Amino acid sequence: MPKLTPALPPSGPDTALLDRLALIERIILTAATALFALNLAGWLILLAGWSLPGRQHLMNAEDALAALLCALSLRFSGAGYSKTVHRLALLLAAVVAAACTAVVCEYLFYVSQGIDLSSAARHGAASLLLQHMSFQTAGGFALLGASLMAIGAQKRAAVVLADLLIFLLLLLVLILVSGHVIAILGLIGTRGPVTTSSLTMLGLLLLTAVAFLRKARNGMFSIILGHGIGGNIARGLSPLLLTLPYLRECLRARFIDSARMPSHYTTALLASLAVMLSFGLLLFLAWRIHSMEVQIHELSLRDALTDLYNLRGFRLLAEQALRMARRSNLPFSVLFIDLDGLKHTNDTLGHQAGSELLIEMGRILKSSFRESDVVGRIGGDEFAVAGQFSLSGISLATERVLECAARRNAEAGQAAALSFSAGYVTAESARHQSLDELLAKADQTMYEDKRRKKVAVG
């Protein structure tokens, strides 16, 4: 079996970049969780009647609690946790989204939530935990919570919705954070009023960054992590496109006199809109380049007869799937199939009959496995399947293929019977075996199955 040097296709993410981003995510989440927990601890110290230096710099208690729940939701929704923990992550995000949406409605529609802050203020330190977050912060965390609920979706419509929510979240956070920075630094005239803590803005920015990186693994934003030309262009131009609009708007804003909103938010709004429009154009151009790359790449990876991956395509994608399984600590299986008597069919019934058997085998394999599994014709009469299967899972899948072949052979009018020998092997998450080793073991198991058939016939 010829050996090829693996390389990532442009349609998949750069696995090396994914590893670096996973480390960055862990660092950001750890730092953010510590920041929010320390802020809540500071409020508890004040409630206990003790003094705390720098208390004026603390996040609002509601801000810190909402941010902490979002950080925990992001952590628990990562790879390596059980379905129960993932449900807990969804619950935490839903709680934040619902609570912050209620605060937004209170500001917009003057709906009381039953807390009299003016009366509570007379109770000293106890009133600190009853202070509501600002309207801007509540909107930011409400949208962040909703985004975290949709971020792990797999269905196409849900993925599009998650992309839209993340896009809106990026726009809102850009407006809030840039407006906050412009107000504090006094980049436009005098220093403007600041209604939220800088730590709150920092926490919202960090959590949004992690949510964006998590969502960039699939959907519209995945092009940024791509291995091809489109991904490289996106990553190269993003810093420039994110910086220039703010520089331009800050210069223009000195000549803007708006009576409807503070000048720093006018500038933040215009700059953020310009950034997201530019970012949308970048994604469109990169996605078009990516689509052309994929079309060209597919021409060299497909077997013309069966429309399965050829040897090169199978190795490229199976290598990537194996790396993804290792990173997620999941089992990985390889199935090896060899058609029985294909040469005899070609000699007696003609090559057209043999080609029909190969095409039929390809159809059965495509209908028996998931789209995420790698299915290929890797030789004249050899097929292989690779994917994230446990030992019992690949065994059931093999039985399913055998049943499909048996049903096909039972149909009337078949010129030749479809018969094959199969062997499979499973690598558990702790065992780092190469794709070549797995293929060799599956091949050996397949030959043992072929020998048993010959003994049974003889």
The answer on pLDDT for 8 being more than 70 is no
DSSP 8-class letter at 422:
E
Check whether residue 408 and residue 452 sit in a common domain. Answer: yes
The answer on pLDDT for 453 being more than 70 is yes
Phi/psi at 419 (5° precision)? -130, 145
Predicted TM-score (pTM) of the model is: 0.59
User: How does pLDDT run across 251-304, given as a tens digit for each residue?
Assistant: 666 655 555 667 677 677 777 877 887 788 778 777 777 777 777 766 678 888
Q: Which helix (H) or strand (E) holds 28?
A: helix 15-47
Check whether residue 279 and residue 167 sit in a common domain. Answer: yes
Binned at pLDDT 50, 70 and 90, residue 1 comes out as: very low
Phi/psi at 81 (5° precision)? -100, 155
Check whether residue 325 and residue 279 sit in a common domain. Answer: no
Residue 126 confidence (pLDDT): 44
Helix (H/G/I), strand (E/B), else coil: 358: helix
Q: How far apart are CA 9 and CA 63, in angstroms?
A: 43
Percentage of the chain surpassing pLDDT 90? Answer: 38
Residue 125 confidence (pLDDT): 45
The verdict on residue 306 lying in a domain is no
Residue 238 confidence (pLDDT): 81
Please give the structure tokens belonging to residue 413.
């009018």
Check whether residue 318 and residue 285 sit in a common domain. Answer: no
Q: Are 204 and 69 in contact (CB under 8 A)?
A: no
Domain boundary among 253, 269, 297: 297
Domain extent at residue 384: 311-457
Q: How many CB atoms lie within 10 A of CB 380?
A: 12
The verdict on residue 92 lying in a domain is yes
Task: Give the lowest-confidence range in 25-29, 160-164, 244-248, 319-323.
Answer: 244-248
Check whether residue 24 and residue 114 sit in a common domain. Answer: yes
Domain boundary among 297, 331, 361: 297
Q: How many domains does the chain have?
A: 2
CATH for 348? 3.30.70.270
Residue 284 confidence (pLDDT): 79
Binned at pLDDT 50, 70 and 90, residue 131 comes out as: low
